[in-house]
Each structure stands twice: as C-alpha cells, then as structure tokens.
Structure 1
C-alpha cells in the first residue's frame, strides 16, 4: 500500500505562461473518468475514505494516519492518503467500515434501501465493470460524483519552480459544493474538508 501526498495548484493562463518561461516541458497528458461511491448517509466520506472507480479500476483512498492534523502551514497545502488498489482488499475494507458503522448504531432500514434503488435507477456506471457492481448494491452504495479530468505532467531541468502558499480546492471539493451541497456541508462539519 502506498501513501499519496498531493498538492494542488491553480493552473491558469498565467501559470502556463510562467511554466513556458522557465523552460518546463510537458512530458505527458492524459484524460480519465472517475466515479465516487458512498452510502446515502455518507458512511465512507464522513470518515475520510474515498471509494473511486477510475476507468474500470477500483481504489480506496484512506487517511494516512487516522485523526492526524497538519502540524504546520505547509502541511495544510497537501493531502495524504493511503491507497488500496487491490479489488479484494478494497471490497474487504469498505465492508469493514460499513459493518463497523452499523455496529455503532446506524440503521440500514428499508426506506434507505428504497432511496438507494431510486438513485441507482438514474445513475450510469459505464466506467465500472458490470461484474463489480453487485457488491455496491449489496452494501447500498451509490455513485455520488462523476467527472472527467485532464492531467498534464511537466518536467523542469533546474531547481527553479512555481510556488503557491494558498490552499487550492480539489475537484471533489468543487464538485460537492456545486452539485451536492448537503454532502459538502456534512463533510465540513466533520472536519473532513
């Protein structure tokens, strides 16, 4: 299992010009589609676990250290997650988290099942293999976010670079604010975002 440390940057026309000016070269560009899944009461994301299907491959992003908070301002600019990419391990960990939540007193009643079924009727899960969907149904999981991303990688021959001391919202933060404000508000209240 790896730990991903990620820092986001605003990449507008000005930054693109600065990259060109300092001699950065684009070494790759790719596009991908992501779908994120959770229960209707956000069992995973309210614990800072993010279940993603990217181009048919499953991944669970878990807090690198449960309950840890950044110790300095620079650390607040980065996110740190362990990544589980083995499909059986992803399934096992998701089931464990939901079972643990259920044991804590949350109910998984029939009205929740009916709500889940209604949401599921309207969702399109093309990027995830059909064989992989049954476990989602069994756990009352639905797709709550879906978007395409274009990512470019640059290389710079020297040590000079770009800096940004401001925390930049990620694509998920922006998506939730715009399209799932209730979910976003709950994540803010839980100090996940």
Structure 2
C-alpha cells in the first residue's frame, strides 16, 4: 500500500518544453478508460472514498487526513493525499467498513458524457464491470448497489524527473479527457508511513522549476466531469468540503 501525494496544475502550450528544460524524461503515452462507483446516496464519495476500475484494474483511494483539516502551508493545501489500495480483498474490506449497514438501496444510474441518463440494470453499468473484471466482483458491486456514476477516457503523456541525492522520482502526467478538459498532475508516491512532508516539498520544488506560481487549487477531471454531468452530486461534494 502506498500514499499518493499530488498537485494539479493548468497545462500551458509550453509545458513540454519546460519539462524537457528541467530534465524530465518522457516515459510514454497511453489511453485508458476510468469508471467510478458509488451508491445512490453517495455513501463513498461523501466520505472522500473513490472506487475506480481502470481497464480491468481496481483501486480505492482513501483520505489520509480529512479535507476539513487546516493546512500548515499554502503548498500543503495545493496537494491531495490518498492511500491507494489495489488488491480486491482489501478494497472490499475497506468499503464494507465505510458502508456498514448501507447495503439495500434502489439501483441508481450512470450518466454518459453527453449527460443523458442510462438506467442501470444488471446488464448495464454493473454488468459492464463484469467485462472489465470478473463475475464475483460484479456480484459484490450489485449486492452493495454500487453503480457507475462517472465514466470517461483519458489520453495521458507521462514524464519522470529525478533529483540528485533523492531516492525515487517525481512523476508528471499531462491528461486530456474525452470531455474536453486538460490538466497536469505532479505526483510522488510514498510508502505507507513514509515522509509525506518530504514528498510535498519535492512537488513544490518541481512546481517552482516549471514556473507554476498560482496558489489557487486547480480542478481535477472529476470536478469538471461532475459539474457538467451530475451537478447535484457535485454540489453535495462541495457542501461536504470534499471537492
């Protein structure tokens, strides 16, 4: 298990040149589809839990600290920090704790990118997860009435940046979502229990090298997707100080 420490930024037309100038190495490009799951009452996301299936691989992001906790610095406030759980049994155990007593609801729906409702059935959004994983996971989702609330495809170009005398690398991803939003991410992975503050400092140094002077939080893909496709869900996450 690891902790993902990340800062988002606005991509400008010169970002590729800037990355090359600071010594970042392009490590590849890929295209992938993400599906995010929650209950109709948003039992997971309103607790800042994000269950995702990316091309058949499951991941649960859990908050390291509550979003309502005050930050000690502006740089810290610009970074998100999530534990990443990637094994299915651990994911299921963590969600069972988060959803204790919340197993029976009407089946919800998932919005496509055009904003139209697709009524969820056993062969739609939960069923599509069976194609991406296996029947047991699809059954587990159905039992907890976890259905897809967001689905989009991303074109990603990734870079790696090493620092002299510092173990590990800083990763920079440039993402173009299929609903027309582009955003950059500076990320450092920390072993569970590792030095998160040091990771934040590395991210801040990288941001300075790239000339990212803005002290304002930059919206992620999920923020923009929900604003356009599910404003009610977005408003509830705003009210809960999750987004």
User: What's the TM-score, normalizing by structure 2?
Assistant: 0.67
Q: How well do the aligned residues superpose, as a CA RMSD in angstroms?
A: 2.6
Give the match for residue 125 of structure 1: 128
More RCO (CA 8 Å, sep 6+): 1
> Which moves more between the two structures, 119-128 or 46-55?
119-128
Moved beyond 6 Å, runs of 4+: 157-160
Give the match for residue 82 of structure 1: 83
Q: From the two aligned structures, give the one with the greater helix fraction.
A: 1
CA shift in 2, pair 1:157/1:56, >3 Å: closer
Give the match for residue 149 of structure 1: 154
Per the TM alignment, residue 146 of structure 1 is displaced from its structure 2 partner at its CA by 0.9
> Which moves more between the two structures, 140-149 or 58-67?
58-67
Q: How does 1:25-44 map to 2 (within 5 A)?
A: 25-44=25-44
Per the TM alignment, residue 89 of structure 1 is displaced from its structure 2 partner at its CA by 0.8
Mapped to 1, the partners of 2:231 and 2:239 lie a distance apart of: 12
Per the TM alignment, residue 147 of structure 1 is displaced from its structure 2 partner at its CA by 1.1
Q: From the two aligned structures, give the one with the greater strand fraction.
A: 2
Unaligned runs of 5+ in 1: none
User: What's the TM-score, normalizing by structure 1?
Assistant: 0.83
Give the match for residue 180 of structure 1: 230
1:162 aligns with 2:166: no
Give the match for residue 166 of structure 2: none
Mapped to 1, the partners of 2:48 and 2:84 lie a distance apart of: 12
Per the TM alignment, residue 86 of structure 1 is displaced from its structure 2 partner at its CA by 1.1
Unaligned runs of 5+ in 2: 110-117, 164-205
Per the TM alignment, residue 128 of structure 1 is displaced from its structure 2 partner at its CA by 2.4
Give the match for residue 62 of structure 1: 62
SS in 1 for 2:94: helix
